[in-house]
Structure 1
Amino acid sequence: MHSRLRFALGFLRGHQGVTVRNSILWADVAHPIMIGTHGDHHRNGDVIEELRFENIDILEHHEPQPNYWGAMAINAGDRNTVRNVVFENIRVEAIEQGQLLDIRVVHNEDYNPVPGNRIENVVFRDIHYAGKTPHPSRIHGFDNERIVDGVLFDNLRFGDERVEGNGHRALDINGYVRNIVFVKK
């Protein structure tokens, strides 16, 4: 079942309103959740929107290739736009090799003839990582026009430590990202 779910989300094109809840994901060598890599690049790409991932346990993330890191990944390629995505009440155990989040507008030369368009309005609420600090999570736009715009963190935790700002060692944010908000409690 898990491999079918991963396949369905990996090739989801131009859809909206998908919810994944009350699940346990174990990807081993791969990415438990990856959104937006493939699209209809011959036209204007696809719009992938209104996605919810809630009450999920991710048991492992062990990916030797840095371009595919991210237990929770949105990699918009092929002129795709990904927007209005909520990750809520997600617990992640060990990351042997990889990172917790990978939110990037990408041009992956292995899979994307062209970069993605943008990522916007992503919420991470009540996310808890229980392992040792992995590689820093990337939040990267591609350039001044293909940006990440609007990421909200409400209770992102690495162990007992709450992440309360974009200067945290667990985050790598480039200059093509706008409107990152950390909810203070």
Structure 2
Amino acid sequence: MRGLYSAGLTATSAGCRNIVFDNIKMIGMWRYNSDGVDFYNCSDCAVKNSFFRNFDDCICVKGQIGWDTEKSSNITVENCVVWADWGCSLEIGVDTVADEIEGIVFRDCDCLHNFSRVLSIGEGDRAKIHNVRFENIRVEYTDEDKKAMIQKSDDEFFAPVQAYAPLIHLHIYSGEWSEDTEGGEIYDVIFKDISVYTESEERFPDIKIEGMNKNHLCQNITLENITHNGKKINDFSVNKNEFTKNIKVK
């Protein structure tokens, strides 16, 4: 699959079961919103042995109106290389219109030239997002990485700012992409064996965990064996707000 000039989401499955994307090579995207693979309210699906370069999110698990009587569950992404020119690399959300999103695994993947959030869970709707694993993930940064920006007009001047994309970002919120009036939850999430490579030894990307309020928490989040240029680090800081609980660093 060589997708050139995709006008929107490139490979979308909605309300489906038993869908497998295997040995896909997706390149040539340059428009906003040209995601790679998106699963909306799907179960028992997989993406494996593939390469994606997209100008938005590369691989996403989501939920949306029209299919939201079904949950998103039992989805595995493994042995993939992703290159996000503008969006997130590996993501759950930000559309989460479902009762549950659970049993999601991102495993043995390489994330290159990251521009926005790398490993992300964006909870903008009502779903209970839980039983999620990101494991054996390699993330590369360069000193030329720029902060994500949106050009809103042809006349807008582009003034890039050098910055690493957040390595991990979990957030519960209500915003422009939200459809539900009630908020959701994020819990029981494991990040294990995450290897970060940077050109500069002094710089390390952000890790952010943010709940919405006391009724909609990010909790029971484990960060285990995070390494930086081959060395395990235990003293990195987690940027979190007051609506988080039981954040463990191992």
Q: Give the TM interval when normalised to the shorter protein.
A: 0.7 to 0.9
| 1:23-34 to 2 correspondences below 5 Å | 23-34=80-91
- Runs (4+) of structure 1 exceeding 4 A deviation are none
Change (3 A) 1:49 1:162: same
Aligned counterparts, 1:1-185, within 5 A: 1=24, 3-5=35-37, 7-8=38-39, 10=60, 12-13=62-63, 14-40=71-97, 45-63=98-116, 70-94=117-141, 96=145, 97=147, 98-107=165-174, 109-113=175-179, 114=181, 116-131=183-198, 132=200, 133-164=203-234, 168-169=236-237, 171-183=238-250
Amino acid at match of 1:51: I
Cα distance in structure 1, aligned partners of 2:61 and 2:222: 26
Cα shift at 1:103: 0.7
- Shift in alpha-carbon separation, 1:115–1:35, aligned structure 2, 3 A: farther
Relative to structure 1, is the Cα distance of residues 159 and 76 closer, same or farther in structure 2, using a 3 angstrom cutoff?
same
Q: Shift of residue 163 of structure 1? A: 3.5
CA offset at residue 115 of structure 1?
6.0
> In angstroms, what is the RMSD of aligned CA positions?
2.0
Measure the CA separation in 1 of the matches of 2:125 and 2:208. Answer: 19
1:67 is matched with which residue? none
**Higher normalized contact order (CA 8 Å, seq sep 6+, divided by chain length):** 1
Q: Specify every segment of 5 or more residues in structure 2 that has no aligned partner in the other structure, as ranges.
A: 1-23, 27-34, 40-58, 64-70, 148-164
1:62-101 deviation per Cα after TM superposition (whole angstroms, max 9, x unaligned): 13xxxxxx20000111112210110110000016232101
Residue 146 of structure 1 aligns to a residue in which SS? coil
Structure 1 stretches lacking a partner, 5+ long: 64-69
Contact 1:81 1:116 in 2 (8 A): no
More helix by share: 1
Three-state SS of the structure 2 residue aligned to 1:36 is: strand
Deviation, 1:46, is: 2.8
Percent of aligned pairs sharing the same letter:
24
1:102/1:18 Cα in 2 relative to 1: closer, same or farther (>3 Å)?
Answer: same
Count the aligned residue pairs. Answer: 168
Q: 1:118 Cα shift? A: 0.6
Query: Take 1:125 and 1:51, find their aligned partners in 2: how far apart are those partners?
Result: 14
Post-superposition offset of 1:135: 4.7
